[in-house]
Chains A and B, each alone.
Chain A
Amino acid sequence: MHAARNLRLCTKDCVCLFICPTGATNTENGQIDFEKCLDGCRLCVDACSSGAIYLVSSTYPKPQPKEEGVVKAIFDLARSKAEQEDVARSISEASDDAALRQICSVFEQSSRIIGEDLWRESGYIIAQSEATRTLLKTMIKEHGNLEGFPLEEVEELLSRLS
């Protein structure tokens, strides 16, 4: 578990620099040095008067089991949202009307966000899960031979997420 700084909240009071035992809070890029940060130390988190520092977990508990009926119904909606993205994009690509293209772009973006949220609540809320590992393995099996599939990256990802 390491500390991280929310730069939007940081008011540069620099108490974290004063209090950090390892100097992890003092960096050029404004973010905390995760490698130097002591696991779960949290001195800076508690000292920051702006509430700009928080802890990021290294491990997560197993996601709560989901009822099959819920997941199926959510998958169906996610599919519909993806189809709507496809339709909106297709309308847009066939048109030179800037106003119509703008409306389609709004529709496409909003549908993607709604869709991602649906995936999140159907068992893919965090990447460190059995569901995600199974997903990546199946993608390798089904699409690993297709041109342009980022096989090396996906295999690396699998080892990082294990």
Chain B
Amino acid sequence: MDADVRQMTWTELEALCTNLEKACSKQLRGEEAAAFAKLASFYGAKKEVKDNASIADLVALINADLSEGYARANKEAAAANDRGAKRALLWGEKSSKLLKSLLARYEKQGAALTENTGVFVCEICGFVYVGEAPPDICPICKVPSFKIHPVRKEAI
């Protein structure tokens, strides 16, 4: 079953292209990676801004993933015994739980949450960490910490 390009949002198309860009980079196919990057930028430039977007919207979406989306996908992947899918769903669900908790902590503490500390994201699995320094090994995907990057607070 193929992805339906006509039904996909610009952001979905962009993410599919950045995934293929990474796939080519890892095979050291620089020119193919560059072409996918260009295609990703084309779609990325079309992304729209949603009016009145709020943290509450994010909470609702991530709650729906955790209560329905992952449950359904896990069930399908288990029934098909699809190891690759089970692996991606396990990592994604764990990272999603951390994103949910990040939002809850931010709603409670506001700017104090990150005032004197760093925030990090694992480039492999999306693991999120608030603290001075990331763990040596990603607790979700077990990659070494050089793949876990700080996300800086930037003034406008």
Contacts and interface: CB of A to CB of B under 8 A. Distances in A.
Interface of A: 4, 8, 31, 34, 56-57, 64, 66-91, 93-94, 96-103, 105-107, 109-127, 131-132, 134-135, 138-139, 142-143, 148-150, 153-154, 156-157, 160-161
Contact of A124 (B20, B70, B75, B110): B20
Instruction: Name A's interface SS.
Output: helix
A116 B21 CA distance: 10
B19 A124 contact: yes
Interface in B114-128: 114-115, 119, 121-128
Given A70-B82, A99-B153, A116 B53 contact: no
Contact-size category for B: 35 or more
Contacts of A143: 5, 42
In order of increasing CB-CB distance, the 6 nearest A-B pairs are A99-B111, A73-B73, A90-B53, A110-B126, A116-B19, A67-B80
Instruction: Name B's interface SS.
Output: helix
A18 B18 CA distance: 38
Contact of B85 (A4, A31, A70, A149): A70
Given A101-B153, A138-B2, A161-B32, 20 more contacts: A67-B79, A67-B80, A73-B69, A73-B76, A76-B73, A82-B14, A84-B62, A88-B58, A98-B156, A100-B111, A109-B121, A110-B126, A112-B15, A113-B124, A117-B125, A119-B19, A121-B84, A127-B29, A150-B39, A153-B34
